[in-house]
């Protein structure tokens, strides 16, 4: 089979290798679609730790082609979406019901070979059977949707809330849709990229603006100077994470959803956080929500297929990982069958 191997920072090689064998409790899937996300690019660039060589790609779906011993819920030919987060189930965090904080977390596409390959071995418990009407691209994008569901849980949005979202890339667009489903009365979004801003408008936010300053001004104007009930940063930029603090009302919640560079910091006044009783929350991975993401897409409640703007094969992956992707890209999906 062919797979794309990140050999060192910024370097990738497509190589031939045997199809992986299915271990006990595992299935082998033929990968049909695998999304590229900001984390993949950060890993490839060396901004986020990665042990090389590695087969990246953690947003993927495909068809079961082989079963290991003790597999009971799946059969050859099943179409499946993959939750990449493999947990130990025995550490203190797992036993507290916080498996996403597992100290032995070994994600597919980071610690284990992932979806930038023609075939991948996946634990049975991490593979979710897809309904017939769901496309492989939709199945691949269940992973970011599930992460966004966790972000909305951490935001605690109430009926009638005003919500500000920084960034209208794939994640920002999903958060925007989920905030509306959760009952937000107003969802305001900022996005500097004109193409992404245009696409975001098609998904129905109440206001889409270009800059962080415009978003801040608009949120204060619509709330009579109070600020938003909830502000979510989906950019992964420390400047935006800090700016979110200026948009939230007293007693409101800020969610730092985007993954900022590990060594960067923001300036926060502990006095102000205490005096205004601001909640600042992180959001990590997708604990126990992958099936929720699948149900939302199967029911047509969330549009994820519309986020895909470009499809490419393994041969073109290096360029897509080393940049923001093709011009005008929102979501890029790798299809190994394309070459």
CATH number for the domain spanning 273: value is 3.40.50.720
Q: What is the pLDDT of residue 134?
A: 97
Domain-embedded: residue 291: no
3-class state of residue 153 by DSSP: helix
The boundaries of the domain holding residue 94 are: 2-141+304-338
Q: How far apart are CA 116 and CA 120, in angstroms?
A: 9
Contact, 162 vs 185, CB < 8 A?
yes
109 and 155 part of one domain: no
Position 36 in a domain: yes
134 and 154 both lie in a single domain: no
Domain co-membership, 63 together with 167: no
Q: Are residues 174 and 74 in the same domain?
A: no
Q: For residues 109, 114, 115 and 118, what is the CA-based torsion angle, rounded to 10 degrees?
A: 150
CATH of the domain at 135: 3.90.180.10
> Is 124 within the bounds of a domain?
yes
Q: Classify residue 298: in a domain, yes or no.
A: no
Q: Within this chain, do residues 167 and 201 fall inside the same structural domain, yes or no?
A: yes
In sequence order, the β-bridge partners of residue 202 are none
Q: Which tokens in the block code for residue 185?
A: 């009365």
Say if residue 276 is in the same domain as residue 179.
yes
- Determine the pLDDT at residue 326: 81
* Residue 324 confidence (pLDDT): 72
d(CA 3, CA 15): 6
CB 130 within 8 A of CB 105: no
Distance CA 165, CA 249 (A): 14
| 25 is a domain residue | yes
Give the SS3 label for residue 106.
coil
Spatial distance between the Cα atoms of 228 and 187, rounded to a whole number of angstroms: 10
Three-state secondary-structure class, residue 84: coil
259 in a structural domain:
yes
Residues 248 and 319 in one domain: no
pLDDT of residue 30: 98
Domain count, the chain: 2
**Could you read off the pLDDT tens digit of each residue along the chain, which spans 339 residues?**
999 999 999 999 999 999 999 999 999 999 999 999 989 998 999 888 899 999 999 999 999 999 999 999 999 999 999 999 999 999 999 999 999 999 999 999 999 999 999 999 999 999 999 999 999 999 999 999 999 999 999 999 999 999 999 999 999 999 999 999 999 999 999 999 999 999 998 888 999 999 999 999 999 999 999 999 999 999 999 999 999 999 999 999 999 999 888 889 999 999 999 999 999 999 999 999 999 999 999 999 999 999 999 999 999 999 999 877 788 888 999 999 998
Do the beta carbons of residue 331 and residue 308 sit within 8 Å?
Answer: yes
222 within a domain of the structure (yes/no)? yes
Residue 297 is assigned to a structural domain of this protein: no
End-to-end CA gap in the chain:
11
In a shared domain, residues 129 and 6:
yes
């Amino acid at each position: 089979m062919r797979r794309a191997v990140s050999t060192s920072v910024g370097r990738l090689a497509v190589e031939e290798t045997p199809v992986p064998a299915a271990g006990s409790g595992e299935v082998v899937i033929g990968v049909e679609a695998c999304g590229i996300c900001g984390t993949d690019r950060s890993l490839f660039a060396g901004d986020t730790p990665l042990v090389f060589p590695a087969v990246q790609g953690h947003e993927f779906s495909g068809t079961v082609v082989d079963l290991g011993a003790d597999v009971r819920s799946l059969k050859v030919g099943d179409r499946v979406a993959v939750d990449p987060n493999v947990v130990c189930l025995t550490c203190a965090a797992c036993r507290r019901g916080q498996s996403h904080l597992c100290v032995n977390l070994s994600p597919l596409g980071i610690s284990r070979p992932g979806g930038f390959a023609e075939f991948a071995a996946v634990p049975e418990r991490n593979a979710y059977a897809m309904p017939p009407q769901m496309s492989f691209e939709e199945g691949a994008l269940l992973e970011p949707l599930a992460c966004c569901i966790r972000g909305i849980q951490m935001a605690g949005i109430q009926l009638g809330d005003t919500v500000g979202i920084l960034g209208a890339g794939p994640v920002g667009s999903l958060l925007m849709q989920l905030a509306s489903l959760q009952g937000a009365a107003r969802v305001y979004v900022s996005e500097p990229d004109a193409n992404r801003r245009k696409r975001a408008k098609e998904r129905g936010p109440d206001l889409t603006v270009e800059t962080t300053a415009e978003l801040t001004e608009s949120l204060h104007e619509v709330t009579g100077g109070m600020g938003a009930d909830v502000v979510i940063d989906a950019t992964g930029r420390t400047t935006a994470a800090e700016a979110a603090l200026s948009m939230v009302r007293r007693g409101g919640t800020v969610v730092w959803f985007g993954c900022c560079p590990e060594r960067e910091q923001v300036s926060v006044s502990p006095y102000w956080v205490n005096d205004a009783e601001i909640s600042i929350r992180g959001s990590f991975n997708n604990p126990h929500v992958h099936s929720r993401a699948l149900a939302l897409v199967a029911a047509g409640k969330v549009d994820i297929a519309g986020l895909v703007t470009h499809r490419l094969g393994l041969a073109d992956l290096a360029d897509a990982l080393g940049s923001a992707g093709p011009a005008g890209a929102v979501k890029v999906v790798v299809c190994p069958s394309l070459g």
